[in-house]
Amino acid sequence: MSAAMPLSRKVARQAVEWYLLEQSGQATPDDLAASAQWRARDPEHARAWSKVQQVGQTASLLPPDLAVPVLRRPQRRVAMQVLLALMAAPAAWLLARHEMLADYRSGVGERRDVSLPDGGTLVLNTDSAVDVAYGAAERLLTLRRGELLVQTRPDHAGSRPLIVATCHGRIRALGTRFIVRVDDDSSRVTVLEHAVEITPRAPSATVRTVAAGQQSRFDAKHANLPTPAPLQADAWASGMLAVQDMRLDAFAAELSRYRPGLLRVEPQAAGLRLSGAFQLDDTDAVLKSLVRMLPVDVLYRTPYWVTIAARKK
């Protein structure tokens, strides 16, 4: 893979996790060995590690109290976002500042309830950041990272529309309750009540209406036709991860959003499927339950490197 190609956010985040663990002073010998093995597993891991070391040494760009972040401290979450942004592109420091200075943020594994000025509410999912700007013309929520659930209320100050903006476009609420999630290459809207209108950023893009019980994914140029929304799409707001006939590798990717470190599935177990509702406040308990549900074992190399493997016969 060319060095000019951008790193995936997943690999970059794993590299940052290992880097912050090593810098914390709390890494055990097993942690250090696991970090070295992670780097050796894939050339992309090695490239990400080299990149995070480069940006980590750029101390002049980081606030002094983040130079040696301590594991589990609140500052660590900010350090992670700074490093990820600096790894993404030289000019991404501006993005990092926006995310650090966002009106509301949540850490990995954290959910946060926010009251809006008009009486509406929003819930931030894990590792999310949002700005709230109510002006004369519109009520604007800018989702900079992650996922949120919005419960709208009528605008008693006039007829200002409520808009959720992402880097891919804008979603206009039509008296509704809905979820917005932003990923690297697209955003996704899931409508729980009433409807929304999606307007991708491109001037020529078609405006798409999405009704209750539907969802749509869109990028800057196009919004997909709506498809049925999954049942209990908002379960995460109550601390639950609800899945129906989901592949194990997809389940692990979703669960990894709620825990630090690396969670991987061996190829022999990746295609196993599961259904159920799982408590997100204790992801280790979720992993333990997989052993009862599926023919797998959960192997902890360190608390931050976990592998789900097919059970040996």
What per-residue confidence (pLDDT) applies to 301?
A: 83
Contact 205, 188 (CB under 8 A): no
Rg (CA), the chain: 20
What per-residue confidence (pLDDT) applies to 17?
A: 83
* Whether CATH 3.40.190.10 fits 105-228: no
What per-residue confidence (pLDDT) applies to 66?
A: 43
What is 239-310's CATH number?
3.55.50.30
Closest CA to 103 of 136, 140, 63: 140
Q: Is residue 83 classed as helix, strand or coil in its secondary structure?
A: helix
What per-residue confidence (pLDDT) applies to 113?
A: 96
Closest CA to 262 of 84, 117, 45, 111: 45
Query: What's the predicted TM-score (pTM) here?
Result: 0.75
What per-residue confidence (pLDDT) applies to 71?
A: 41
Q: Is residue 252 classed as helix, strand or coil in its secondary structure?
A: helix
What per-residue confidence (pLDDT) applies to 13?
A: 81
Domain boundaries, the chain: 9-101, 105-228, 239-310
* Chain mean position to CA 96: 15
What per-residue confidence (pLDDT) applies to 261?
A: 79
pLDDT (tens digit, 0 to 9) for every residue of the chain, 313 residues total? 344 567 777 788 888 888 888 877 778 888 888 888 888 888 889 888 888 877 766 544 444 444 444 344 445 555 666 666 656 554 444 455 555 567 898 988 899 999 999 999 999 999 899 999 999 899 999 998 899 999 999 988 788 999 999 999 999 999 899 999 998 889 999 999 999 999 999 998 999 999 999 999 999 999 999 999 998 999 999 999 999 999 999 999 999 999 887 888 999 999 999 999 999 999 999 999 999 999 999 999 888 889 999 998 7
What per-residue confidence (pLDDT) applies to 184?
A: 81
Question: Angle at which helices 43-56 and 29-41 pack, to 10 degrees?
Answer: 120
Q: Judge whether 105-228 and 239-310 match in fold.
A: no
